[in-house]
Amino acid sequence: MDELKRTDPEIFKLIKDEERYEIDSIRLIPSENYASKAVLEATGSILTNKYSEGYPGRRYYEGQRYIDQIETVAIERAKALFKVDHANVQPYSGSPANLAVYFALAEPGNTIIGLSVPHGGHLTHGWNVSVTGKVWRSVQYGVDRETHRIDFDLVRDMAKKERPKIIITGGTAYPRLWDFAKFSEIAKEVGALLLADISHVAGLIVGGVHPDPAPYADVITTTTHKTLRGPRGAMILCRNAHADAIDRAVFPGLQGGPHNHTTAAIAVTLKEAATPDFKRYAVQIVRNAKALAEELLARGFQLVSGGTDNHLILIDLTSKKVIGRKGAQALDKAGIVTNYNTVPYDPRRPFSPSGLRIGTPAVTSRGMGEAEMHQIGKWMDEAVEKAGDDAALAKIAGEVREMCRKFPAPGLPTL
């Protein structure tokens, strides 16, 4: 980045500082990852210069001979990998992708049903502060108070009573598998469409360690930057019956020109995700999450639903010395990056809730395995115990740094 260094040393330095932080810390935010060098190169390419409103072969701008080919490659790879009829790779991110689906398939005021945010759903599944909870009539389901698993009796009763246009599965803080077959049964019973938002688990689905929504969902949305390990972006995958409505909702319904540098990077991501290496990666993500959960349980941490089936663990810190934001801050000082989160039926406020949300996609990308997960669990316990003791936390951060340097992160230089 010699040119950037010369023209804008301030931004150059901040990028370099972030780079070092990403190398020297254990990043347990479950929605984050390390994109490969190839993905970063495509994202940073001259394709950012191009305008190409429309779709391949149907553009409103001349000069699309290469852009059309790039987008077609991305679409074909998405269709093959996820076994779907149709793919739209233009959504700017996960939130606009979901908005496009509701805009395409429901009238304003129609009912949608999704998992509530305090129980692990996403804002764009109809939460009240999101536009998706204002334009559409949103009713929200939750998890069982005891098991912390989706309460399917509740979902079925709700669906029968509310007669939704769309039922949404998927979330951001649910540590168990999504039973798409069961959701599809309920959707069929009430004549609703089923949307599977697989943003968090797309990479696990590709890797065969999570159920596949393709046989059951009418529409699938996914971000491309979480377990899938691509650039920031999203895709909408669907059956042919909905293809035109979805495409029109994305453009011209919600967006203008697609981000062609992102489209190219999504194509690269999908090629990487189709390899046996990626399958091994997905298997290891889950193994690592189970190993980390085991260590945390052994050290007296309470886990929502008692453990994990996927890449994500939701800790209830109530049994520990520090709670919520204070716990996440102590861990950050120890070089372990997590995010504080509500737990189901949380008595505390969202600004400093009882929980911590962690996940293994990023550490697994660095090649860390079960032994490292046990070590991380041990450090987490120490850091929470030593909250407020900055010298002790700095000592842990030093040990964390030493281990991190042994596991070079994809896309980043070695130090």
Q: Please say which residue, 64 or 221, places its beta carbon nearer to ligand PLP.
A: 221
Tell me the C-alpha to C-alpha distance, in Å, between residue 154 and each of 118, 125, 181.
Answer: 16, 17, 16
Q: What is the largest CA-CA distance in the chain?
A: 63
- Strands 234-238 and 86-88, by their bridges, are antiparallel
Q: Please say which residue, 164 or 231, places its beta carbon nearer to ligand PLP.
A: 231
Catalytic residue among 19, 20, 32, 51: 51
Please state the closest distance from residue 102 (CB atom) to ligand PLP, in A. Answer: 13
Catalytic residue among 226, 290, 333, 357: 226
Question: What does the binding site for ligand PLP look like in residue numbers (CB under 6 A)?
Answer: 31, 93-95, 98, 122, 124, 170-172, 197, 199-200, 223
72 catalytic residue (yes or no): no
Do residues 334 and 379 lie in contact, with contact meaning Cβ atoms separated by under 8 Å?
A: yes
Enumerate residues 6+ apart whose C-beta is below 8 A from 373: 288, 289, 291, 292, 295, 360, 363
223 catalytic residue (yes or no): yes
Catalytic residue among 223, 269, 308, 364: 223
Q: Please say which residue, 171 or 324, places its beta carbon nearer to ligand PLP.
A: 171
Catalytic residue among 19, 32, 41, 53: 53
378 catalytic residue (yes or no): no
Q: Please say which residue, 92 or 379, places its beta carbon nearer to ligand PLP.
A: 92
Please state the closest distance from residue 67 (CB atom) to ligand PLP, in A. Answer: 23
Selection from 230, 186, 239 nearest residue 206 by Cα: 230
DSSP track, 232-288: S-EEEEE-HHHHHHHHHIIIIII-SS--HHHHHHHHHHHHHHTSHHHHHHHHHHHHH
Q: Is 107 exposed, middle or buried (0-12, 13-18, 19+ CB in 10 A)?
A: exposed
Q: Please say which residue, 64 or 130, places its beta carbon nearer to ligand PLP.
A: 130
Report which residue's Cβ sits closest to ligand PLP.
Answer: 94
Please state the closest distance from residue 223 (CB atom) to ligand PLP, in A. Answer: 5
Angle at 134 between CA 193 and CA 167, to 5 degrees: 15
50 catalytic residue (yes or no): no
Please state the closest distance from residue 70 (CB atom) to ligand PLP, in A. Answer: 21
Please state the closest distance from residue 51 (CB atom) to ligand PLP, in A. Answer: 22
Please state the closest distance from residue 107 (CB atom) to ligand PLP, in A. Answer: 22
Q: Please say which residue, 43 or 199, places its beta carbon nearer to ligand PLP.
A: 199
244 catalytic residue (yes or no): no
Enumerate residues 6+ apart whose C-beta is below 8 A from 6: none
Catalytic residue among 24, 197, 309, 316: 197
Do residues 326 and 256 lie in contact, with contact meaning Cβ atoms separated by under 8 Å?
A: no
Do residues 359 and 338 lie in contact, with contact meaning Cβ atoms separated by under 8 Å?
A: no
Do residues 396 and 334 lie in contact, with contact meaning Cβ atoms separated by under 8 Å?
A: yes
**Residue 86: beta bridge partners?**
238
401 catalytic residue (yes or no): no
Active site residues: 51, 53, 197, 223, 226, 232
